[in-house]
Structure 1
Amino acid sequence: MDEIDAPPALRSRLRKLSLERPDDLVLHLPLRYEDETRVIALADAPAGVPLQLEVLVVDVAVRFAPRRQLVVQVCDAGDQNAVLILRFLNFYGSQQRALEAARDDHFRLRVFGEIRDGFLGPEMVHPRCRVLTADETLPRSLTPVYPTTAGLPQSALRKLIARALKTVDLAEFLDLEWCNKHSLPPFATAVALLHSPPPEVSPMALQTRSHPAWRRIKFDELLVQQLSLRRAYLARRRKGAPLLPAAGQLAERLRAALPFALTGAQQRVVAEIAADLAQPYPMQRLLQGDVGCGKTIVAALAVCQAIEAGYQTAFMAPTEILAEQHYLKLRAWFEPLGVAVVCLSGRLGAGGRREVQRRAASTAQLVVGTHALI
């Protein structure tokens, strides 16, 4: 697949978002949307809500209290008694000159932002602002706002994505009858709508991602994840692993020496792990449980199975303290049964480490430690 057709500097910024091909752009979906499909009268505009106005510039001034800022007084293009302040804390000289020219030539401004109460009355701080030099129609779809990075403006992203949508073939891989049955739109339809939703689409459904187009995307993501997990599962099955038959003599001696009996859940998990270890492919299993529920004894019984099959076992803990605690407990369980246990940790001095490594390479059947084991 070809790279994105863009200057090198722009491609470098796109790569920060993992956007390297036109396909990546098509699947770079919006975070949220802004409604630029309508203009609100300033007198009716609520505070604290993103909205769009058409205004005339009344005055442009640079003020220095409490800091340097550009203050622009505007009035509603249809009601000059309705006044608003546009305030820019960071601005360029070219921006100031453009607003002064709009004032002198009586051009309209289209501004987008949130109105709030300010020291000089209702104001917008750093609104998106554009001079209208002719009668311009309003957009026919909601304006997407994409995840971006420094130096990559929304306008550039929108142009690149719009161009990619015209060239990338969004093939359908699900049965359309099945999709209709479950109220899922075709994939190409869903992607196109999310990039350019018509104004009649519920903004809340888009924002909460409950719209059918979002549901289709979420279904596809979940399906791809499950297929990937299945492929990984089959790949593991194709790998060989030594058979560790569950003879059970060492495990039975350990159970008999314990001052407690295994719970029903522990017995079930021990049996499942034992069955997995006896298979000719690697086991991949996560044992979950609260602190103190008995995960260590379950692991110790798996250790018994490996040792009985003639293999050495590593028992790794995330911290030095936990490794020491496990070592003391496992040594108390296993040494009376004739199993040699050693502990390898980063705190050992050079001499102690060499001795533990020597025993691990010769007589130790169970080696406990942190990532130092690796």
Structure 2
Amino acid sequence: MPAASAAPAPAKSAPAKSGPQKAMERLGLLRDIDLALHLPLRYEDETRLTPLHQAREGETLQCEGVVTECRIELRGRRQLLVRLQDAEGDQLLLRFLHFYPSHQKTCAVGQRLRVRGELRGGFFGREMVHPQFRAVDEHTPLSQSLTPVYPTGANLPQAYLRKAVAAGLRRADLAELLPPGSVPPQLPTLREALDFLHHPPPRASLATLEDHSHPAWQRLKFEELLAQQLSQMQAQRERDLLSAPALRPRPGGLHEQLLAVLPFALTRAQQRVVEEIAQDLARPHPMNRLLQGDVGSGKTVVAALAAAVAMDAGWQCALMAPTEILAEQHFRKLVGWLEPLGLKVAWLTGSVKGRARQKMVEAVADGSAQLVVGTHAVIEDKVSFARLGLAIIDEQHRFGVAQRLALRQKLQAQSSRGGAQLEPHLLMMSATPIPRTLALTYFADLAVSTIDELPPGRSPIVTKVFADTRRDEVVGKIADAVHAGRQVYWVCPLIEESEALDLQNATDTHAQLCEALPGCQVGLLHGRMSPSDKTAVMAEFSAGRLQVLVATTVIEVGVDVPNASLMVVEHAERFGLSQLHQLRGRVGRGAVASVCVLLYTAPLSDTGKARLRAMAETNDGFEIARRDLDIRGPGEFMGARQSGAQLLRFADLQEDAPLLSAARRLAPALLDQHPAAAQRHVQRWLGGKAEFLKA
């Protein structure tokens, strides 16, 4: 305690964290269990010494010898040269281009060193550049297990990390939490599995360690999949305990009135998902449903019908989209359908300012605005709903985890007129179809409705893949399309020239097309433009006053111009497969056959070839999603949902399907019969990341 004084002594600040400590925090290595589960990328064999006369150039090996020379060479660049001689008299030069005085001290003449590195041929004989090394004596034992090499970051040396992981592994509580008989047979305990993976014996099969097929890996994968399934099922059960307004369509109500005024008939798939959503809305528990469908399958009208049910029952509905362009597309459609029926639709985005914004916020707060359409501005603190009964999120994967959690918290904060806490129903929409295995795993707490049928009258899209050496030919095709009265998109990956990436940029392309197409009106649209400018350009293109629109990926979703029948995507090899499919969906919306041209720059990577081949071979969004999963793997496919919080680090949903099935069977029984063990298991594996699964 500090001595008493007239003024209190300032509190001592906590000791500053060292570079390695900060680096470990950045890697999420906060708990002992985190360290224990930080598994090696690969292993080095330090269990044996190789005599230099048996070593081959290009081989990575460990050898031992006595230093016969240690000097600093100033010729060329400053470097430390150490000559080593082994027991047979063979010599090896160690070359250090970066070194400290401590290196010279350790490598003093007469000192015995144990070194490991790649053996190279050099002008002065065989050498190793920057090998690992340490001082030893004749009796220093060799390692009894393979040496782990861990994923690391800046300011975090392997030696420091190895010690930290070993200490965390010793301290971690790895007691068996699962009841006897629940783990697949012939798998080791968790303690045995982790001890083996961190310190495998010299004779361990490196092949089974590297391909993760070893039983020790299988145990970890099973535990991870089980934690993920438990977390999802817990979220689902917690939601089933909550109350929500029971919303039922009434005969002759808004639902039927909207169906009557639509200028088209619903497809069978749309009718089916409308009924699935209606059944959920009628329950006194909050709906948590994902509506997925291919580009142009008609998800907006399904959402409008769900909104009509909520509003007819006296509740408000909010529709949130990730971009202002997409939100405005929804707004226009919904206003056209709903305002003639006497409903007031509010518009809330970042570009709505001043008195206009205040007027919208007041209409939402007093309930006079039955439907609110907008961007993330809908979930700002100043926006309060009178009676929010249904929230609809379009392209939900485009929102960050923090935004989706904020929305959920806002929804939970809404109350009914009588003051009883009621949670709104939640409908999420995605035009990126999710393969069934992923839906069952990452969205186990969601009901999934799928529109697997396109409306009639959609023209087929032909996809052509051209090298960018045929650019002039493509410009000629644009001139032909414009002459025939059609409109064209040209999509670029960058707005302006970048020194880092030699990609054709939107501003240059716009200038080139203006010159190559005299008399043709060419527009430019990109994300740095003000919302009002973007709106004006899209209005001009939609009205047909612009024949060609050069754009970045702001047109990826939501843009609907039926007269556009040709799309060119520049540097298509740089785009993801689902993004290419979304872009392609901007054409083919009218009765005329449409073409999507993918321009690429050689040479193509294997991944680039696979993406472009998939685009040329199929228009089916579900097949595209399946191939995308094959190319990228589940973690990257679901990357936006994870938002950097890796939810499946070890398991592979395709290779480990039997383990996933076992985890899915065990999870409900564990929650019912051993709830405390289930909770400890989730905490061990996910910690605070369990919240991300609910987003």
- The answer to whether TM tops 0.5 is yes
Aligned equivalent of 2:69 = 59
Q: Which one has the largest radius of gyration?
A: 1
Structure 2: gaps spanning 5 or more residues:
1-15, 380-695
Alpha carbons of structure 1 residues 328 and 48: separation in structure 2 relative to 1, 3 Å: farther
**TM-score (normalizing by structure 2):** 0.48
- CA deviation after TM superposition for structure 1 residue 168, in Å: 4.2
Alpha carbons of structure 1 residues 329 and 128: separation in structure 2 relative to 1, 3 Å: same
- CA deviation after TM superposition for structure 1 residue 67, in Å: 2.2
SS of alignment partner, residue 243 of structure 1: coil
Aligned equivalent of 1:3 = none
Q: Distance in 1 between matches of 2:99 and 2:161?
A: 23
**Superposed counterparts of 1:191-340, under 5 Å:** 191-247=194-250, 249-340=253-344
SS of alignment partner, residue 98 of structure 2: coil
Q: Which residue of 44, 53, 72 corresponds with 1:34?
A: 44
Aligned equivalent of 1:90 = 98
1:309-365 C-alpha deviation (Å, 9 max, x unpaired)? 111111111111111111111111112222222322221231222333344335322
Structure 2 counterpart of 1:250, which letter?
Answer: L
1:232-280 C-alpha deviation (Å, 9 max, x unpaired)? 1111111211111233632222223223322232222222211111121
Contact map agreement 2:79 2:96 (CA 8 A) in 1: yes
1:166-200 C-alpha deviation (Å, 9 max, x unpaired)? 4544212345555463x321212101111211011
Structure 1: gaps spanning 5 or more residues:
1-6
Q: Distance in 2 between matches of 1:70 and 1:47?
A: 22
1:123-167 C-alpha deviation (Å, 9 max, x unpaired)? 322111012223222111011123345554433443344345445
Aligned equivalent of 2:355 = 351
Alpha carbons of structure 1 residues 319 and 167: separation in structure 2 relative to 1, 3 Å: closer
**Superposed counterparts of 1:145-160, under 5 Å:** 145-160=149-164
SS of alignment partner, residue 288 of structure 2: coil
Contact map agreement 2:65 2:114 (CA 8 A) in 1: yes
**Superposed counterparts of 1:13-162, under 5 Å:** 14-75=24-85, 77-81=86-90, 83-99=91-107, 101=108, 103=109, 105=110, 107-117=111-121, 120=124, 122-162=126-166
Q: 15-24 or 310-319: which moved more?
A: 15-24
Aligned equivalent of 2:370 = 365
1:188-225 C-alpha deviation (Å, 9 max, x unpaired)? 21011112110111122222222110111111011011
- CA deviation after TM superposition for structure 1 residue 231, in Å: 0.9
Q: 263-272 or 8-17: which moved more?
A: 8-17
Q: 226-235 or 131-140: which moved more?
A: 131-140
Q: 114-123 or 322-331: which moved more?
A: 114-123
Q: 314-323 or 148-157: which moved more?
A: 148-157
**TM-score (normalizing by structure 1):** 0.86
State the percentage of identical aligned residues.
Answer: 52
Q: Distance in 1 between matches of 2:40 and 2:357?
A: 55
Alpha carbons of structure 1 residues 234 and 92: separation in structure 2 relative to 1, 3 Å: same
Contact map agreement 1:11 1:20 (CA 8 A) in 2: no
1:275-328 C-alpha deviation (Å, 9 max, x unpaired)? 111121222222223322211111111111111111111111111111111111
Alpha carbons of structure 1 residues 48 and 209: separation in structure 2 relative to 1, 3 Å: farther
Contact map agreement 1:179 1:186 (CA 8 A) in 2: no
Q: Cα RMSD (Å) of the superposition?
A: 2.7
SS of alignment partner, residue 335 of structure 1: helix
Alpha carbons of structure 1 residues 260 and 85: separation in structure 2 relative to 1, 3 Å: farther
1:74-103 C-alpha deviation (Å, 9 max, x unpaired)? 34x14434x43322121111211321x2x3
SS of alignment partner, residue 288 of structure 1: strand
Q: Distance in 2 between matches of 1:359 and 1:164?
A: 56
Q: Distance in 2 between matches of 1:223 and 1:72?
A: 53
Q: Distance in 1 between matches of 2:273 and 2:53?
A: 69
Contact map agreement 1:34 1:50 (CA 8 A) in 2: no
Alpha carbons of structure 1 residues 314 and 173: separation in structure 2 relative to 1, 3 Å: same
